Structure 1
Amino acid sequence: MTTKLNHWCVICGTGYHSCDSCEAIGIYSWKKHTDTLNHYQIYFIINDYTYGILNKKQAREKLNQCDMTGWEQFLPNVRVKISEILS
C-alpha cells in the first residue's frame, strides 16, 4: 500500500493518502475532502451554514457536538466561518 499524499483536507490542510478506486466506480467517500470523519462533519456544517440551510444558532449547536480541538490552526477561510458561527 502506498502512502503517497494525494489529498489535502479542506478543513485543516493536512495532506493524506486516500484510495480513489472506489470513487472511480461511483462509491463516494468522505475521504475525498477531509482527513478525518470529524473534519467531514465540520465541513458539512460550514457548507450548510454558508448556503443558508442552517442558521447561526443551529450551526453553533452542531459544531459544539464536534471535536473542535485546534480549530484556530484550521485553514484561514474555515477559521473565519467558525469564528462567525461561534460569535
Structure 2
Amino acid sequence: MNKYLVLIRRTNEFTGRTLPAHRDFLAELKESGTLLLAGGFADQTGGAYILQCSSQSEAEAIIRRDPMNDPNEAVYELKQWNAN
C-alpha cells in the first residue's frame, strides 16, 4: 500500500459550510483504515490528511468524494508520500 498526502488550502471564499460533512467523511475513512492521520493547520489556512491506498487513482477517487473538495471552499493537492 502507498501513502498519499492530501494538502488542503482554504480559499478566500471559505465559509466552513462543508466542515461538518468533511469531518464525517474523514471519520468514515478512519474507520475503514484508509485514513492514517488528519488535522487542521494552527493558522486556520487549511489542513492535511494521509491516505493509505493501492494507487494514485484510488486516492484521487477518495478526495473527489470529500465534501470540502469544492473550488469555492478549498484547493486540494495530492502527493504520493514516501513516509515510513
Per the TM superposition, whether the score is higher than 0.5 is no
Which has a greater percent of helix?
Answer: 1
After TM superposition, the score normalised by the length of structure 2 is 0.31
The structure with higher relative contact order (CA 8 Å, sep 6+) is 2
Which has a greater percent of strand?
Answer: 2
After TM superposition, the score normalised by the length of structure 1 is 0.30
